[in-house]
Amino acid sequence: MNGSVVSYSLRELIARFGGEVVGDPEVRVSRVATLENAGPETIAFLANPRYLRHLATTKAAAVILSPTERDLAQTARIVHEQPYLYFARVSTLLASPRTPVPGIHTTATVHSEAHVDSSAEIGPYVVIGRGARVGQGSVIGPGATLGENARVGRDCHLHAHVAIYAECLLGDRVIAHAGVVIGADGFGIAFDGDRWVKVPQVGRVRIADDVEIGANTTIDRGAIDDTVIEDGVKLDNQIQIAHNVHIGAHTAIAACTGIAGSVRIGRHCRIGGAVGIAGHVTIADHVEVSGHTSITKSIDKPGVYSGVYPFEPNRDWRRNAVQLRHLAEIAKRVAALEDGLAQIRRSQS
Amino acid sequence: MNGSVVSYSLRELIARFGGEVVGDPEVRVSRVATLENAGPETIAFLANPRYLRHLATTKAAAVILSPTERDLAQTARIVHEQPYLYFARVSTLLASPRTPVPGIHTTATVHSEAHVDSSAEIGPYVVIGRGARVGQGSVIGPGATLGENARVGRDCHLHAHVAIYAECLLGDRVIAHAGVVIGADGFGIAFDGDRWVKVPQVGRVRIADDVEIGANTTIDRGAIDDTVIEDGVKLDNQIQIAHNVHIGAHTAIAACTGIAGSVRIGRHCRIGGAVGIAGHVTIADHVEVSGHTSITKSIDKPGVYSGVYPFEPNRDWRRNAVQLRHLAEIAKRVAALEDGLAQIRRSQS
Amino acid sequence: MNGSVVSYSLRELIARFGGEVVGDPEVRVSRVATLENAGPETIAFLANPRYLRHLATTKAAAVILSPTERDLAQTARIVHEQPYLYFARVSTLLASPRTPVPGIHTTATVHSEAHVDSSAEIGPYVVIGRGARVGQGSVIGPGATLGENARVGRDCHLHAHVAIYAECLLGDRVIAHAGVVIGADGFGIAFDGDRWVKVPQVGRVRIADDVEIGANTTIDRGAIDDTVIEDGVKLDNQIQIAHNVHIGAHTAIAACTGIAGSVRIGRHCRIGGAVGIAGHVTIADHVEVSGHTSITKSIDKPGVYSGVYPFEPNRDWRRNAVQLRHLAEIAKRVAALEDGLAQIRRSQS
């Protein structure tokens, strides 16, 4: 977030990340920018054709383009098959990541039987319970809490007010944004005919390496066995993951999605925002689900799945939606019409 | 969460909870397990036929089954009409619940005019405002805040960072998981033709006994009168309850559901996840709503209600969904066809 | 929230806010109430015809009504075209707003290079980072955190546990309820064919004046440019606003709505609860969207837009919904029937 003073020439960038320079390879860049709001020493990219119109007028020193747009720009450029991925790498190179400041803040409360690596940074008002562990180079933000025996691996970053309940395990390089809750009780209740009886939730949450978890996302502990998030899973904000869900490696899930108990999602899936997945459903690897879709049964083949009510002006929607309640009847009437027509045809032949 | 060393024989369990033992009644169990991942001294259950396949191979010392599956297992077993409820009771018996450690943490900030029972446990960085009360045996987790005159009854457990705004009241045995917010202002705004004018929210939230509230759920204070949650209501994570909602006793609501202002939900309802309920709607007792359904008008009869767009492969969905915008027209055309066919029939007879 | 001892006569109220008194103008009111639960010295209002039945029996000392209902009440009343807006003003007048108690709580952690106005109230366990600023009369609630160079204007109120990440800017009179997260990283990830590469999120969040943000709402920082919330925007609870969203002035958004990256919403829009808006969509000024609608493409004309699956008893829904998957085919069959019928007609003529 601080302006970096380090700069790179395009020649240096392609030496690191590949691609081809068109134009002056000695152009230097020190910051990223959008095409629209670029200035001197910035590098921008074009990945979405919707922003093509900004290419002609951009003030960026350099742009990253796919071969298709190679000749649509005048500025110096790097041509690469995957401009957004390329940009991600350049942006990471130019960013000045926050370095942990080793030590435990004087206001933090760390149990005498907790194990905090000396290179870790423990912020103000952090609570670390008995038997909990924090690994090398991890940063625990203000007010975050680790329950008994919770474990955070190396180079993790828990932002403000993250709550890790007892016994839950995080791997290395896990990022959890502010307000994340890991290991709260799953919604396990049994009805006795009159009232609900709570089922103790004795499983844990196990999160593997390189997982990122968005702000205010919640991941419940398992009822008996564990809730599991595999390597490289990326979770956006305000996602709800219920007890005993299992999410396969490198799956990405957009914001506001809710995943009910015991769902099993495969590897390399892409789940849109505000999706709902019903309990006990299994989803194969490489499945993509459109935003706002409700997945009510298992999906065993890769592919893109959708189920979204198309919006329209309210008046039209009212007129059309009312017929949804007659759809079965309409289908019957169409079948009856087909019979009727066939009959007439027979009678005419 | 800690392995308990207490164990019970099946004979002892049925003496407490009823049911019938098939096999050796002296088999002892000390932990719960799933059928799939059971080990020595564990007791598992079968409630969902989807897991029937694990019954033959389970390593559980004992299982809880319904009479229908009575003879499908070899292991010692308890037969009972409601295996999941039975399991809930056994699991509660075997769990070693956290006992409060009486006292106020040295880092907590408790107003001199607050009333904290000497048996309550007040965690680090807790803030308790003037006139607020915490009852016998309650646990207030790290960083939780109680506004002025807020009241928490007996044997409650507020987890980390729960925020109770001023004047809000919780009964006994209430559990609120991390990140719960109770009593924030409702969304009361009036438009003056140019900008929004805030309507002060002067009501409270009143929560009765035995209510459980999931992580990051929010319950707004009433605009004028109170927002009310009756006895035994169970709320999952990330639920939003707007001002002046009234939820009847023993209703259970799954995660991510949003309930708009002044909604009245009856007793013993079961509301699925990601449901939306529009403002001022009234829902009768014993109503069940499927997940992802939008309830836009009142429901006055018990029953199960649904309105979920069925998902399908994206290509099929596109083809079908586009017709939704023509549904009223299709209905008209079907009616016209019926008229046409009737005319032809008349002309032929 | 405390009973105010100040009271006003109806004569005094209309002198301030306009309208006409019917009945005794010397009637005094000191508190607001609903028609249903009113008592002595209270003033209630009628804006929703659904509550008309309470008008005859209300115990309010006075009511606020529109001209249409002018003669439907016996009690003293104020007649005004916009009863709810009028009520908002009266309620604001009668409310006793919390006055900041200037000073920094002894438990707070304020960086030596932060700038906190001496009239601001900084609560317990607050963390204010290097270069951060808090303006005149602002209240920072318990446990709230301001990252480096974050800025909060005048007369703001951040409630408990609000997290403002580094560099984010709030204008004047901004209210953020408990659990709000502003400036967490947007969901920027690029796929390298095997795993996700994080795209550093180097933009900020800029929030203008008079914005209110509901509990547990999250607003992500921009990926490159900023995420922007203009003047007077009102956001309910548990809303998710992704990176680089731009929300125009005086737009109001109800709870649980999710807005994907780079969406541009106009001024004076009203977005219902649990709405989903897909990435890169643009919405014109004065657009209204019904709750639970999924907006998947841009809207360039003012108006009301909807797309909600109508609920019905589960049995009916099942019967109807299954036909949705045949809708394209039904449409084809109807067209074929029309052809068939036309053919028969031609053959008969």
Q: pLDDT grade, residue A109 (50/70/90)?
A: very high
Q: What is the pLDDT of residue C131?
A: 98
B244 to chain C: closest CA residue = C34
Kindly identify which residue of chain B lies nearest to residue C173, measuring between CA atoms. B198
B178–A163: do the CB atoms touch at under 8 Å? yes
**Signed CA dihedral, A87, A88, A89, A91: sign only:** positive
Report, in this order, helix, strand and coil percent for chain A, each rounded to 5. Answer: 20, 25, 55
Read off the pLDDT band of B96 (50, 70, 90).
confident
pLDDT in tens, C6-24: 899 999 999 999 999 999 9
Q: Choose, out of B295, B296, B299, the residue to mutate when testing the contact with C (most C CBs < 10 Å).
A: B296
Question: What is d(CA B349, CA C19) in angstroms, rounded to the nearest whole number?
Answer: 72
At residue B5, the pLDDT reads 67
CB distance C277 to C247 below 8 Å? no
**pLDDT tens digit string along C139-172?**
999 999 999 999 999 999 999 999 999 999 999 9
Confidence at residue C48, expressed as pLDDT on a 0 to 100 scale: 87
Rounded Cα distance between C66 and C164, Å, is 43
Q: How confident is the model at residue C5 (pLDDT cuts 50, 70, 90)?
A: low
Q: Is A200 an 8 Å CB contact of chain B?
A: yes
Average pLDDT, chain B: 96
Q: Which of A82, A216, A338 sits opposite C216 (nearest CB)?
A: A216
DSSP A299: B
- pLDDT at position B122 over 70: yes
Cross-chain residue pair A184–B177, CB shorter than 8 Å: yes
| Cβ neighbourhood burial of B16 (10 Å; 0-12, 13-18, 19+) | exposed
Q: Give percent above pLDDT 70 in chain C.
A: 99
Is there a domain that residue C202 lies in?
no
Q: Convert the pLDDT of each residue in A289-322 to its tens digit.
A: 999 999 999 999 999 999 999 999 999 999 999 9
Return the residue in A311, A312, A329 with the most chain C beta carbons within 10 A, the one to mutate for interface testing: A311
C167 touching chain A per CB within 8 A: yes
The interface predicted TM-score of the complex, written ipTM, equals 0.96
Chains contacting B (3 or more CB pairs within 8 Å): A, C
SS3 content of chain C, % helix, strand, coil (to 5): 20, 25, 55
Whether chain A has a CB inside 8 Å of the CB on B328: the answer is yes
Cβ separation B314–A306 shorter than 8 A: yes
Q: pLDDT tens, A240-256?
A: 999 999 999 999 999 99
Give the active site residue among A115, A243, A250, A268.
Answer: A243
A278-295 average pLDDT score: 98
- CA closest to B109 among chain C residues: C124
- Chains A–C, number of C-beta pairs less than 8 Å apart: 240
pLDDT digits (tens, 9 = 90+) for C170-206: 999 999 999 999 999 999 999 999 999 999 999 999 9
Catalytic residue among C159, C243, C250, C326: C243
Domain-embedded: residue A339? yes
**Which of A317-321, C54-58, C194-198, C226-230 shows the lowest mean pLDDT across its residues?**
C54-58
Q: How confident is the model at residue B49 (pLDDT cuts 50, 70, 90)?
A: confident
Q: What is the DSSP letter of A19?
A: -
Q: What is the mean pLDDT of residues A171-177?
A: 98
Least confident of A290-294, B3-7, B207-211: B3-7
Q: Which residues contact C332 (CB under 8 A, 6 or more apart)?
A: none
CB atoms near residue A53 (< 10 Å): 10
Helix (H, G, I), strand (E, B) or coil at A316: helix
pLDDT at A152: 98
pLDDT of residue A2: 43
Rounded average pLDDT over C91-99? 89
Domain range for C343 = 314-348
- Tell me, what's the pLDDT at C50? 86
Q: For residue A1, name the pLDDT band (cuts at 50, 70, 90).
A: very low
Restricting to C residues 115-134, those with a Cβ less than 8 Å away from any Cβ of A are 125, 127
Specify the pLDDT at position A5.
67
Cα–Cα distance, B329 to C330 (Å, whole number): 12
The mean of the pLDDT values for chain C is 96
Give a yes or no: residue B195 inside a domain.
Answer: no
Which of A36, A61, A94 is the endpoint of a domain? A94
pLDDT exceeding 90 applies to what percent of chain B? 93
Residue B318 placed within a domain: yes
pLDDT at C97: 79
Strand, coil or helix: what is A244? Answer: coil
A243 is catalytic: yes
Indicate the residue of B1, B142, B255 with minimum beta-carbon distance to A240.
Answer: B255
- Domain termination residue (choose one: B94, B122, B146): B94
pLDDT of C156: 98
Asked whether the beta carbons of residue A256 and residue C278 sit closer than 8 angstroms, the reply is: no
pLDDT in tens, C97-146: 788 999 999 999 999 999 999 999 999 999 999 999 999 999 999 999 99
Average pLDDT over residues A269-277: 98
Taking 80 as the threshold, does the pLDDT of residue A4 lie above it? no
Asked whether residue C38 is assigned to any structural domain, the reply reads yes
H-run or E-run covering C38:
none
Assigned domain for A24 exists:
yes
Closest CA to B51 of B17, B19, B83: B83
How many CB atoms within 10 Å of residue C97?
Answer: 9
Q: Do B289 and C311 lie within an 8 Å CB cutoff?
A: yes
- pLDDT tens for residues C233-257? 999 999 999 999 999 999 999 999 9
Residues A110-135: what's their mean pLDDT? 98
**Is some CB atom of chain B closer than 8 A to the CB atom of A170?**
no
Q: Minimal CA–CA distance to A230: which of A238, A219, A240?
A: A219
The pLDDT of residue A98 is: 81
User: A84 and C192 in contact by Cβ < 8 A?
Assistant: no
What mean pLDDT is predicted for residues C324-340? 95
Name the B residues in 205-234 with CB < 8 Å from any C CB: 216, 218, 220, 224-225
- Predicted confidence (pLDDT) at residue B329 exceeds the cutoff of 80: yes
The residue out of A94, A116, A145 marking a domain boundary is A94
- pTM (two decimals): 0.97
Instruction: Indicate the pairing of strand A270-271 with strand C282-283.
Output: unpaired
Of the residues B243, B250, B268, B292, only one is catalytic, namely: B243
Assess contact for A62 and A24: CB atoms under 8 A: no
Chains with ≥3 CB–CB distances under 8 Å to C: A, B
Residue A96 — pLDDT band, cuts 50, 70, 90? confident
pLDDT at C96 over 90: no
The percentage of chain A sitting over the pLDDT mark of 70, rounded to a whole number, equals 99
Amino acid identity for residue B345 in this structure: R
Judge whether B24 lies within some domain: yes
Residue among B190, B337, B347 minimizing CB distance to C338: B337
SS3 string of chain B?
CCCCCCCEEHHHHHHHHCCEEECCCCCEECEECCCCCCCCCEEEECCCHHHHHHCCCCCCCEEEECHHHCCCCCCEEEECCCHHHHHHHHHHHHCCCCCCCCEECCCCEECCCCEECCCCEECCCCEECCCCEECCCCEECCCCEECCCCEECCCCEECCCCEECCCCEECCCCEECCCCEECCCCCCEEECCCCEEECCCCCCEEECCCCEECCCCEECCCCCCCEEECCCCEECCCCEECCCCEECCCCEECCCCEECCCCEECCCCEECCCCEECCCCEECCCEEECCCCEECCCECCCEEEECCCCCEEHHHHHHHHHHHCCHHHHHHHHHHHHHHHHHHHHHHC
Q: C240 and C279 in contact (C-beta within 8 Å)?
A: no
B50-87, pLDDT tens digit by residue? Answer: 889 999 999 999 999 999 999 998 899 999 999 999 99
The chain C residue lying nearest B198, using CA atoms, is: C88
**Which pLDDT band, with edges at 50, 70 and 90, does B48 fall under?**
confident
Q: How confident is the model at residue B161 (pLDDT cuts 50, 70, 90)?
A: very high
Q: Lowest mean pLDDT of A38-52, B296-310, C305-319, name the range.
A: A38-52
- Enumerate residues 6+ apart whose C-beta is below 8 A from C329: none
Best probe of the B interface among A130, A158, A187, A318, by most B CBs < 10 A, is A187
Do C306 and A318 make contact, defined as CB atoms within 8 angstroms? yes
Over residues B140-159, the pLDDT tens digits come to 999 999 999 999 999 999 99
CATH number at residue C25: 3.40.1390.10
In a mutational test of the A interface, the residue from C294, C297, C312, C319 whose CB has the highest number of chain A CBs within 10 Å is C294
- CB within 8 A of B10, min separation 6: which ones? B21, B23, B24, B25, B26, B27, B29, B62, B76, B78
Chain A CB contacts of C295 under 8 Å are 311
Domain count along chain C: 2
Mean pLDDT for C286-295 is: 98
| Res A196 pLDDT > 90 | yes
What are the tens digits of pLDDT across the range C33-52?
999 999 999 999 998 888 89
Position A39 in a domain: yes
